[in-house]
Amino acid sequence: MVRNMKRYYTGVHNEHSVLKILIKLIAVFIISTISIALYDMYLNINVDSTPIDSEKTTAVEETEKEIYDTLEQVSSSVVGVSKLQNVDSSIFSLEAVETYNLGTGIMVSSQGYLITNYHVSGNKLSKCYITLEDGEEYTAQVVWTDSNLDLSILKLNTTKQIKYANLGDSDSLRIGQTVYAIGNPLGIEFQKTVTHGIISALDRTIKIKNEDGEVSSYMEELIQTDASVNAGNSGGPLVDEQGNIIGITTIKISEAEGIGLSIPINIIKPIIKKLEETGRFEEASLGVYVYDKEAIQYISSSLQFEYGVFVTEMVSGGAGKLAGIRVGDIIEEIDGIKLNKINDLRRYIYTKNIDDEVTLKVLRNKQEMEIKAKLTRKT
């Protein structure tokens, strides 16, 4: 009996041993199979070994270099503008900028013409002092200015060959476009500072107040950008990525951060062209004060019109009054050109000469009429 029990236990033990060995063999088989399968998958993985496109990388680097080179070239045409001669660099501070009308200008012609702001240069025939890239100082005379546009053109008194920048096309600008502002934000100590941003908005209209806090005029079609501007940037260029001047910095909105405004360059291009061709610019005038539909809302909410400019005042003895234009008329077209903005009228008149005749399409009491006017000299 005991012997049989021994035999039974021995048989069970043997069966357990065989089962363990069998399980181990199965486990080894499974592991081996999985390992072989994983290894096979590893060998067949399609690794993207496409090399880095060196041509694309090189193209990006070249584009960046072109922008850097372009900005350097434009910066060489940026000048300092002041009403004081031989101002020591130690007082080119924020206080000096605000006290002495220190600002920025941009050379735009091989004949020595430069653009800045009216509030920097002062009235026509005023004398300013211009500091060039090499530190040399020259005098310049204001040959044209418009306080409503806050623009001036000066003629540099030198026979020296001057570096100048190209004028771009402000009519083709797009919101989101990359731009650069160049100027002397705090005077000579920070001269030729370049800031970078985008065009945030176009066709901005702002109110200009006088010393009494009353609205004296309006500035229209302004370019809004988030490129940083400060006191002293006034009159400096707003530049596109090709190095073309597309605007002239005028003011910063003090109540908000990141809002700078520039005057579109196209408004002044006809004047530059005439100065280069003839050496002088005698400004013709229609002799009317007008507002477009954007600005008229600040005067009266009841005045509404689809397009054209609304006549609010006449110049005594001016072309408009002599031709029979009246206050309250809406000038819709000039020589077949549809008017939407005040600057549409300004730009066209800048291309004309004194005594030129223009044909106006006028809306009066809901009746359209045609009026011919002979342009007079602006006084």
Residues recognised as catalytic? 119, 150, 234
- Residue 242 neighbours by CB distance under 10 Å: 12
* Cβ–Cβ < 8 Å for 216, 209: yes
What residue spans of the chain are helical by DSSP H? 2-44, 54-75, 94-100, 118-121, 269-278, 319-323, 342-350
State the Cα–Cα distance between residues 112 and 353, nearest whole angstrom. 23
Which of 318, 319, 314 is CA-nearest to residue 334? 319
Structure tokens at 220: 């229209």
Question: How many CA atoms lie within 13 Å of 125's alpha carbon, on the beta-carbon side?
Answer: 0
Strands 330-334 and 288-292: unpaired
Residues 6+ apart with CB under 8 A from 261: 204, 206, 219, 222, 223, 224, 225, 249, 250, 251, 252, 253
Structure tokens at 226: 């988030």
Structure tokens at 56: 């694309």
Which of 270, 194, 177, 178 is CA-nearest to residue 237? 194
End-to-end CA distance of the chain: 141
Strands 288-292 and 309-314: antiparallel
- Per-residue burial over 148-174, b if 16 or more Cβ lie within 10 Å, else e, is ebbbbbbbbeeeeebebbebbebeebe
3-state DSSP call for residue 251?
strand
Please state the φ and ψ torsions of residue 166, each to the nearest 5 degrees: -90, 145
